[in-house]
Homo-oligomer: A and B are copies of this chain.
Amino acid sequence: MNTGAFNLVNAAWQAGVKVCFANPGTTEMPIVAALDRVSGMRVVLGLFEGVCTGAADGWARMTGWPAATLLHLGPGLANGLANLHNARRARTPVINWIGNHATRHLAFDAPLTSDIAALAGSVGWTRTVKSAEEMAEVSLEAVRTALGPPGGVASLIISSECQWDTCSEPLPITPPSILCKEISSSTLYEAAHLLRKGRGGILLGGSALTVRGLNAAARVATATACGVWIETFPSRQECGWCVPHFPVLPYFPEPAREALANTASLILAGAREPVSFFAYPDQPSRLAPESASLLTLADPDAGVDAAIALEALAQELNAPAVVALPRAVPAFTPSGQSIDADTLCRVMAAFTPENAIVVNEAATTGLTWNVMHASNAAPHTMLFLTGGAIGQGLPNALGAALARPDRRVIAFQADGSGLYTPQALWSMARESADITVIVCANRRYRILQTELKRAGIINPGPKAQSLTDLTQPVIDWTALAKGFGVPACRVCTDSELADSLMRSFAEPGPSLIEAVLV
């Protein structure tokens, strides 16, 4: 006889789930045992649940297939929620296995009892498993639901008896397939019509940011002279000198509205209607002009592939093929000067290896990279912070590196947000993941200093200042990295930065570079 725990893990494995990012406790012991019985399933320990959920997100962004997390009751899930929020916004397929007390024990309200369903429900589909007998079936259902459409987070709440009870051998499982809806010809016609009228625009997101999607967008742009923008916080984007380059829709609402001001119609290709990230007094939420016609060409939640839709649109418009002009990677000659955000990005653009994965949670410096420099670098894939819940970067880099051991991962990391989940460094060392962590050490929450000004607080008092300052004491990232087993160095000049980057890219395993910014 199988246990429910074995059926859960085995069904997921058969459905294509290859890795479990785990931080288990007592209530998950039968699943821990089952992981050993499903020999192909990789298990990666995180010291903190936010590492597990962020790594699962990174894994799925690079493979298109969900990883599982193993979490300990409500508090374990709570610790992983911020990165699940980001996964939800990225529409990343993620499966959570969350242990719970035996059902008969719940009425006694033991210390770890809490409303797990309320927490899990806040990030997506949630199912409380009823018996060991149904474990294989719900395990598969979770994979299917995570894949979508709409894709996203699928959580199973699994009480102890569902894990340890024995049950029958389940039916063999066929891995689910990803369903893709075809685009309607009337939508295509309407989009082409709007763009032909002139002053058109396209906002790209989701699979529109693959090479295929970007090429199709370039064709459409050439044929109709429309504007093309990339959504401000894409989940995954192909970048570099050999792919068509479009501007990123600005983060702050004023320049974003200005960018779109002249647009008569905005076609949404894998992106949703652009709205302000935050609300400000006397600023509208919508970014497109009120007069603009909005048309959804490919709704990211409906399973229409935005790249295919853009190709169909290009064809509808009889758009000619576009040959992207290869741009040369600008050489960088180090001068021994101190590093600012722009210098850091220029050095990175010069040295980023071809086919790298850049996980961008570098906040203000990261926006500089996206807007100004990523298109100059060698071809690479970028993963971005999607839900605004900082602490995604290092865990995402871990998951991406394990998913693609053939590619160098660059964790391009702000210091403030890196401190939400620094424990990911330990798992990087444990798994010998090929990751170069670049910490942009500006030693402040620079974005909040900007937001204080935007809120009219021009001369912040000592408390407001202290809440945006990270210098008392200065955080020593090289020591933190050493503590977690990752070799590290600190650089203060562009020459040191270039040297350390080249050294890191040449060596297997993780290393961390603390770039002190002026």
Give A residues with C-beta under 8 Å from B: 22, 24-27, 29-30, 32-33, 35-37, 41, 43, 45, 47-48, 50, 73-75, 78-79, 81-82, 85, 89, 101-102, 104-105, 107-112, 114-115, 118-119, 121-123, 160-161, 164, 233, 272-273, 275-279, 281, 285-286, 386-389, 391, 416, 419-420, 422-423, 426, 429-430, 447-448, 451-452, 454-455, 457, 460-464, 466-467, 469-470, 472-485
Q: Is A45's CB under 8 angstroms from B466's CB?
A: yes
Residues of B within 8 A of A32 (CB): 452, 457, 460, 463-464, 467
Max chain B Cβ within 10 angstroms of own Cβ: one of A79, A422, A474: A79
Docked complex Cα distance between A115 and B467 (Å): 26
Docked complex Cα distance between A107 and B279 (Å): 12
Across the interface, A420 reaches (CB within 8 A) one of B29, B41, B79, B387, namely B79
Residues of B within 8 A of A25 (CB): 448, 451
Across the interface, A460 reaches (CB within 8 A) one of B36, B457, B470, namely B36
Residues of B within 8 A of A89 (CB): 111
Docked complex Cα distance between A70 and B250 (Å): 28
Q: Is B79's CB under 8 angstroms from A26's CB?
A: no
A-B contact pairs, 11 of them (CB 8 A): A29-B454, A75-B82, A78-B85, A78-B119, A79-B391, A101-B278, A108-B276, A110-B278, A111-B388, A112-B388, A160-B278
Q: Which residue of B lies closest to A47 (CB)?
A: B419
Q: Is B462's CB under 8 angstroms from A36's CB?
A: yes
Q: Is A108's CB under 8 angstroms from B466's CB?
A: no
Residues of B within 8 A of A472 (CB): 430
Residues of B within 8 A of A478 (CB): 483
Q: Is B122's CB under 8 angstroms from A118's CB?
A: yes
Across the interface, A43 reaches (CB within 8 A) one of B22, B118, B160, B463, namely B463
Q: Is A426's CB under 8 angstroms from B389's CB?
A: no
With A118-B122, A285-B104 as contacts: A33 and B457 at CB distance below 8 Å: yes
Q: Is B164's CB under 8 angstroms from A75's CB?
A: no
Q: Which residue of B lies closest to A90 (CB)?
A: B111
Q: Is B285's CB under 8 angstroms from A108's CB?
A: yes
Q: Is B480's CB under 8 angstroms from A448's CB?
A: no
Q: Which residue of B lies closest to A476 (CB)?
A: B483
Q: Is A35's CB under 8 angstroms from B464's CB?
A: yes
Residues of B within 8 A of A454 (CB): 29
Docked complex Cα distance between A285 and B112 (Å): 14
Across the interface, A485 reaches (CB within 8 A) one of B41, B105, B112, B473, namely B473
Residues of B within 8 A of A78 (CB): 78, 81-82, 85, 119, 389
Residues of B within 8 A of A462 (CB): 36
